[in-house]
Chains A and B, each alone.
Chain A
Amino acid sequence: MAAADDLQFEEFGDGATLPATNPDATTIDIEDPGEISKRQSRPRGSPGREEDEELLGNNDSDETELLAGQKKSSPFWTFEYYQTFFDVDTHQVFDRIKGSLLPVPGKNFVRLYVRSNPDLYGPFWICATLVFAIAISGNLSNFLIHLGEKTYHYVPEFQKVSIAATIIYAYAWLVPLALWGFLVWRNSKVMNIVSYSFLEIVCVYGYSLFIYIPTAVLWIIPQRAVRWVLVTIALGISGSVLAMTFWPAVREDNRRVALATIVMIVLLHVLLSVGCLAYFFDAPEMDHLPTTTATPNQTVVAARSS
């Protein structure tokens, strides 16, 4: 009966065969997963490609805007709103840490690794680890330097933990706030193609501090030269990550303003690392080192021991 036929499901078959059987049918082509991954892997690029689109992320800027709009839909007083900032897997966190340790010119940390999914897990726990690393290493290093002195009484110096925490967390949150405000203000004057959200800047700063954790542990070695070499290496790596991230954001601006911004970012970073080294780690005095001193000091040691 006609009524029974109308209620039956029609088999449509594959989309490929449909135009053959029914030329009037409309078909929509959905891309293969292989093509999509090819498209996404292009922004990563082969090393050495320095096209503007890569840095600016024009390919996926539309996508990222859309994704950012879709993600944070809960109001800010619900718990789910804050859960969106912890939406990372273990391997993503490791990738971001790796990206902060190996800055490659031409690759932007935010576009490459953060990709509109800024997380607060990394910055918070990297800063916490750094606070304890600096406090504990400083304590250990002072203990080792003053080992053997009759007048030295070991104290754990627990108050330094709170001072370290204040310094590091202030740096990791207030400097991004100031930088974000500054970039927003410049954006209103000069049309920049690249702009970062506040959380992305916090993310970059947090992950760029990771290099200081092994540096702080290695600062236990009571040699002045070793410490300064370590400071230089750490500053080089994290400073370049920051500079390469923020250069595209200020490039469109007045030359002097752009250069001043980058210099300011690097200068604050230098201030942080040198300040931590000076405050938490006592200066190693030369005449307490046994055999590894440089030759000009051996006469001093000989003079003191005689």
Chain B
Amino acid sequence: MAEAEESSGELETATPRPLFAGLSDISISQDIPIEGEITIPMQGRARELDRSTLNESVRHTIMRDLKAVGKKFMHVLYPRRSNVLLRDWDLWGPLILCVTLALMLQKGSVDGEKDGGPQFAEVFVIVWFGAVTITLNSKLLGGNISFFQSLCVLGYCILPLTVAMLICRLVLLAGQGPINFMIRLFVVVVMFIWSVVASTAFLADSHPPNRKALAVYPVFLFYFVISWMILTFTP
């Protein structure tokens, strides 16, 4: 290498000749050992990551998913105009919430008389088919949100209503009565408004302004029906 540089240096100081005229004069008389390591930094890191998620403990994997779900819960509880729910959507949160809500809402035992409350399957079907119908409606109206993103947002925004269900069950432990009912009514109304505001904060931007109301109304109806089921729950 050093010899080649010296000869090219000599070429530059000599009288101006056509380009690369003397290149053929250069001869590399001895073998230049070329050795070393070729590493591409990005690939190396990715291979490291793959290895780490395969070999990491089960607890670590579950905690990572739970932390993602928990982060989204925080975003629902304090709704800001962010697109965390939209960017990394997942359906674990909606599933956990829906199962919890359905478990709490179902009738405890099969009564001899006509049992009026919804069964587990009914609540589950209402939540999921309601969410699918609203998503289809949103897409048919020309919204630019994807199917699973919308399902994710609608599912996560059931969180306030699940909290309301928990509170209602606790309040019902103290016995039934008009004051009891007023407390439950107040809690359910507040959580209903919270749910609608939270989901609108995420979904509002996906529609042009002349169709926003058309896309938001089914969401309102959906959460209203769930609130009604929570409010009329009698143990």
**With A121-B214, A156-B229, A156-B232 given, is the CB distance from A86 to B116 under 8 Å?**
no
A82, A86, A91, A125: the one within 8 Å of B217 (CB)? A125
Query: Please, which residues of chain B bring their CB within 8 A of the CB of A139?
Result: 232
Binds B, one of A100-108, A128-136, A289-297: A128-136
Which residues of B192-235 have CB atoms within 8 Å of chain A's CB atoms?
A: 210-214, 217-218, 221, 224-225, 228-229, 232-234
B141: Cβ under 8 A from any A Cβ: yes
B211 touches A156 (CB 8 A): no
A93 and B214 in contact, given A139-B232, A154-B234 (Cβ under 8 angstroms):
yes
- Judge whether A157 is part of the interface by a CB distance below 8 angstroms: yes
Determine which of B116, B122, B213, B228 lies in contact with A90 in the assembled complex, contact meaning CB atoms within 8 Å: B213
Q: Is the CB of A91 within 8 A of B140?
A: no
- Per the bound structure, the CA–CA distance linking A90 and B207 in Å amounts to 12
| A268 adjacent to chain B (CB < 8 Å) | no
A85-B113 Cα distance, complex, nearest whole Å: 45
8 A Cβ contacts from B87-135 to A: 113-118, 122
Q: For A155, give its contact among B115, B122, B141, B229 (CB under 8 Å).
A: B115
Complexed CA–CA distance, A136 and B117 (Å)? 13
Greatest chain A CB density within 10 A among B139, B221, B232 is at B232
Contact B221–A156 (Cβ < 8 Å): no
Give the A interface residue count (CB, 8 A).
25
Contact across chains for A89 and B142 when beta carbons are under 8 A apart? no
CB contact between A89 and one of B113, B211, B225, B234 (< 8 Å): that residue: B211
Q: Closest CB of chain B to A209's CB: distance in Å?
A: 15
Does any Cβ of A come within 8 Å of B61's Cβ? no
Instruction: Decide: B221 and A128 in contact? CB cutoff 8 A.
Output: yes
Interface residue from A91, A136, A158 paired with B210 (Cβ < 8 Å): A91
Residues from 78 to 94 in A contacting B, C-beta threshold 8 Å: 79, 82-83, 85-86, 88-91, 93
B8 surroundings in chain A (CB, below 8 A): none
* Complex alpha-carbon distance, A89 and B209, angstroms: 9
Bound: A121/B215 CA distance, A: 10
Residue B7 CB within 8 A of the other chain:
no
User: A125 touches which one: B113, B122, B218, B229 (CB < 8 A)?
Assistant: B218
Q: B140–A82 contact, CB under 8 A? A: yes
B137 within 8 A of partner (CB):
yes
A90 with B212: CB separation less than 8 A: yes
CA distance A138 to B118 in the complex (A): 16
Q: Are A121 and B221 in contact (CB under 8 A)?
A: no
**Binary per-residue interface labels of chain A (120-147) against chain B in the complex, 1 for a CB within 8 Å, 0 otherwise:** 0100110011001000100100000000
B117 in complex: contacting residue of A86, A90, A132, A158, CB < 8 Å:
A158
Instruction: Report yes or no: B116 in contact with A83, Cβ–Cβ below 8 A.
Output: no
Complex contacts, A132 vs chain B, CB 8 Å: 221, 224-225, 228
**Nearest-CB distance from B133 to chain A (Å)?**
8
Query: Chain B nearest CB: distance from A91 CB in Å?
Result: 7
B114 touches A155 (CB 8 A): yes
Distance of A85 Cα from B136 Cα, bound (Å)? 13
B122, B137, B141, B142: the one contacting A158 at CB < 8 Å is B122
Bound complex: CA A158 to CA B234 (Å): 12
Residues of A within 8 A of B113 (CB): 153
Q: Specify which chain A residues have a CB less than 8 angstroms from the CB of B140 in the assembled complex.
A: 82-83, 85-86, 121
Contacts of A90 on B, CB cut-off 8 Å? 210-214
Select from chain B the residue with minimum beta-carbon distance to A88.
B214
B185 CB to closest chain A CB (Å) equals 13
Nearest A residue (CB) for B118: A158
- In the complex, what distance in Å separates the CA atom of A67 from the CA atom of B229? 45
**Could you give 13 example pairs across A and B, Cβ below 8 Å?**
A82-B140, A89-B210, A90-B212, A121-B140, A121-B214, A139-B232, A156-B116, A156-B118, A156-B229, A156-B232, A158-B116, A158-B117, A158-B118
Q: Which residues of B contact A (CB under 8 A)?
A: 113-118, 122, 137, 139-142, 210-214, 217-218, 221, 224-225, 228-229, 232-234
